[in-house]
Chains A and B, each alone.
Chain A
Amino acid sequence: MAGKTLYDKLWDAHVVQTDAGGTSLLYIDRHLVHEVTSPQAFEGLRMAGRKPWRTSSVLAVPDHNVPTTARAAGITDPVSRVQIETLDQNCAEYGITEFKMNDLRQGIVHVIGPEQGATLPGMTVVCGDSHTSTHGAFGALAFGIGTSEVEHVLATQCLIQKKSKNMLVRVDGKLRPGVTAKDIVLAIIGKMGTAGGTGYTLEFAGEAIRSLSMEGRMSICNMAIEAGARAGVIGVDETTVEYVQGRPYAPTGDNWDLAVASWFDLHSDDDAQFDKTLILNAADLVPQVTWGTSPEMVVGVDGRVPDPAAEADKSKANGMQRALDYMDLKPGTAISDIHVDKVFIGSCTNSRIEDLRAAASAIRGGKVAANIKQALVVPGSGLVKQQAEQEGLDKVFVAAGFEWREPGCSMCLAMNADRLEPGERCASTSNRNFEGRQGQGGRTHLVSPAMAAAAAIAGHFVDVREFG
């Protein structure tokens, strides 16, 4: 019998039962909750007279809607305020742990899970948010769910699931300086397309992935969903275990030793079979910049905006043309000739301490260019913010002309006051460049933290490998 993939192992360990049609009840170890996708789930629970099955599995935090300035004054937008107050009330009513808006531990749900050790190797982790795939970096099976499923997990601790297929994405060799995890994952999506991973769990492996920090691995798994895959996983190694050790929710004492012993089996067996394989060579990769309105519309920073006329597939060419119209770009324009109006460093893809360090070091004593209307740095959590301040990174950003904000989703999806105005162009470290994502009519280019910081200083995209 062929060996098991990591996904097979995680799946098998969590199946409560499987019916004749192949539909399984899958047990959920960790349920992360935020204010946007949970109110209707709690309401449904209440209306049916049900209780949460295991409250200790749930950790809640408001992140999407919170303001990133003047927190002490509360939330001025009444609609946002009601949503966050609803989360507070629901958590109080059911005895669920919540890091409230002014708690130091508050932050983006996908940053705080790992930071607290609430995300552990071998777990199933769900959240009413598609970027739950982030937590797969720990050798956990983690995926986003809809609100009905949030209610289902609250009520039963299980989900009704069918097993997906296995895809191996192997990145061989070593990355060149200036090329980061974000560039790897953008290049992968460029190759696979945004639907290439639909129906699969992706496993990221290979020397280039192994040599990434946990922050880098999280950036990669975070964007598995942008390749259409609900989940992305990375096998456990020393880097994983070292990151987890000592975190507030991590096991201690004998449990720690037991846990670590079991975690080292969380990788695919050598003879495991994958349904599909994609292989990239790290040495071929350059910093990436998206040019369109889908993450698959991406090129190297040394490239040019592509020409729809050169695309044989008509429906694809139409899509490209529509994207170019929306982005107000002409085919053939050099990426480095694209000027930006705003810069956003943050989001669950790139707001961890290492991302902020990379951005700060790309500034190299420069100042934000005159054409930049706003450059925001939004740390992923209160603890990331504190750590960055201890390292003096906030001073580097502020001295260069960036704004240093309170943690939250912020301009990643512009549900709070941080947004693009119609027509504004942004270099953003987030994960989605859909039409209107960062504000109606706003134009988003996805890049790594170092590339975003360099664009802020230059006023246009530059190759970080030659910058400074």
Chain B
Amino acid sequence: MEKFTTLQALVVPLDRPNVDTDAIIPKQFLKSIRRSGFGPNLFDEWRYLDHGEPDQDNSGRPLNPDFALNQARYQGARILLGRENFGCGSSREHAVWALEDFGFRVVIAPSFADIFFNNCFKNGVLPIVLDAAKVDALFKAVEATQGYELKIDLVAQTVTTPAGNSWDFEVDAFRKHCLLEGLDDIGLTLQHAEAIRAYEARRRAEAPWLFN
């Protein structure tokens, strides 16, 4: 996993509540057995005017000019600004793989769906919760200002606006550590293999039917 410490980048607004994982990456692309290559199909149904299928050349497809990701002013954005309940719906990690593959490292929203939120951390993407009023202010500022960038500092846990306003955000200490160091959490868990075996031995005595 790629480390995350600080990022200063362009912000793209996606002004809809309840953006679900079916919208982030439609199901026809879930047939892939790979982990990469989902970026061109991120938000496929909103981004393109035609219907997309896996393994298709996306470069010649008609783009929806109204969709923010297609607009010239937002090209190169690495921070996605969203509304309530971002990432709701299925558990598909493909949604985060698509965001990451497209180039996003940060998603800011007033709230996230749990599984999506969790999946972000496994892939070096930082989901940041800011209260609805701040998010609202960011939407207005981003839309009003060409080239609007935010500075994200994971060590200090701050989001800093171009005007120099700095807002704190919360992040779980363990997840922060993994993200800063780019750690594989399976390796970390396996350091506790003995504790896991001890638990199993105890449980097997209490509830043997669980181990059939």
A residues within 8 Å of B by Cβ? Answer: 16-17, 19, 21, 23, 25, 27, 29, 36-37, 39-40, 43, 48, 50, 53, 56, 64-65, 77, 79-80, 82-83, 86, 120, 122-123, 128-130, 132, 144-149, 151-152, 155-158, 160, 162, 164, 194-195, 198-199, 228, 230, 249, 251, 255-256, 258-259, 262, 294, 315-316, 319, 322, 413-415, 432, 434-437, 440
- List 3 tightest A-B contacts by C-beta distance, closest first: A251-B209, A148-B122, A39-B33
Question: Judging by beta carbons under 8 Å apart, are B22 and A437 in contact?
Answer: yes
Q: Across the two chains, which residue of chain A brings its CB closest to B132?
A: A315
**Option from B33, B90, B174 in Cβ contact (under 8 Å) with A130:** B90
CB distance B196 to A158 under 8 Å? Answer: yes
A49 to chain B, nearest CB (A): 12
| B196 & A414 in contact (Cβ 8 Å cutoff) | no
Task: Report which residue of A37, A147, A148, A294 has the largest number of chain B beta carbons within 10 angstroms of its beta carbon.
Answer: A148
Q: Is B115's CB under 8 angstroms from A130's CB?
A: yes
Apart from A37-B93, A122-B207, 9 more pairs, CB < 8 Å: A25-B195, A56-B211, A64-B30, A82-B31, A86-B33, A120-B209, A152-B185, A158-B196, A251-B209
The 8 Å CB contact of B88, one of A39, A86, A228, is: A228
In B182-212, the 8 Å CB interface with A consists of: 184-186, 189-190, 192-193, 195-196, 199-200, 203, 207-212
Chain B residues near A294 (CB-CB < 8 A): 18
| CB–CB A25/B189 < 8 A | yes
Instruction: Assess whether B190 is in contact with A155, with CB atoms less than 8 Å apart.
Output: yes
B175 nearest CB neighbor, chain A only: A23
A255 → B minimal CB distance (Å): 4
B119 at the interface (CB under 8 A from A): yes
Judge whether B134 is part of the interface by a CB distance below 8 angstroms.
no
Q: Is the CB of B93 within 8 A of A315?
A: no
6 residue pairs bridging A and B, Cβ less than 8 Å apart: A27-B199, A36-B92, A39-B33, A40-B33, A123-B210, A130-B115
Q: Would you give the 0/1 interface string for B123-158, flagging 1 where the beta carbon is closer than 8 Å to chain A?
A: 100000000000000000000000000000000000
Cβ B122 vs Cβ A156 within 8 A: no
List the A side residues contacting B189 at CB < 8 Å: 25, 152, 155-156, 158, 160
Contacts of B54 in A (CB 8 A): 79
Residue with the greatest number of chain B CB neighbours at <10 A, chosen from A37, A122, A199, A414: A37
Q: Given A21-B174, A79-B31, A130 and B192 touching (CB < 8 A)?
A: no
User: How far is it, in angstroms, between the C-alpha of A132 and the C-alpha of B114 when the chains are bound?
Assistant: 14
Q: Are B91 and A146 in contact (CB under 8 A)?
A: yes
A319 touches B17 (CB 8 A): yes
CA distance A144 to B91 in the complex (A): 6
B23 touches A436 (CB 8 A): yes
Which chain B positions have C-beta within 8 A of A228?
A: 85, 88, 113-114
Q: How far is the CA of A129 from the CA of B16 in the complex (A)?
A: 24
Look across to chain B and name the residue whose beta carbon is closest to the beta carbon of A129: B91
* Cβ contacts under 8 Å, B88 to chain A: 194-195, 228
Within residues 169 to 189 of chain B, which ones have a CB less than 8 A from any CB in chain A? 172-174, 184-186, 189
B27 near A: Cβ within 8 Å?
A: yes
Interface string of B18-39 (1 = CB under 8 A from A): 1010110011101111110000
Measured in the bound complex, the distance between the Cα atoms of B31 and A157 in whole Å is: 26
Cross-chain contact of B190 among A86, A120, A123, A156 (Cβ < 8 A)? A156
Once the chains bind, are B16 and A80 in contact (CB under 8 Å)?
A: no
Minimal Cβ-Cβ distance residue in A for B50: A440
Confirm or deny: B83 has a beta carbon within 8 angstroms of a beta carbon on chain A.
yes
For A23, give its contact among B34, B114, B119, B172 (CB under 8 Å): B172
What residues of chain B lie closer than 8 Å to A255, measured between beta carbons?
Answer: 208-209
Q: Are A435 and B113 in contact (CB-based, < 8 A)?
A: no
Q: Which chain B positions have C-beta within 8 A of A195?
A: 18, 84-85, 88, 111, 113
Q: In the complex, how many angstroms separate the beta carbon of A444 from the nearest chain B beta carbon?
A: 11
Residue B118 lies at the interface, judged by CB distance under 8 Å to chain A: yes
Residues in B whose Cβ lies below 8 Å from that of A128:
91
* Least CB distance, A241 to chain B, in whole angstroms: 13
When distances are taken between beta carbons in the complex, the residues of chain A under 8 Å from B57 are none
| A16 touching B199, Cβ below 8 Å | yes
Q: Given A146-B122, A440-B51, are A262 and B207 also a contact pair (CB < 8 Å)? A: yes
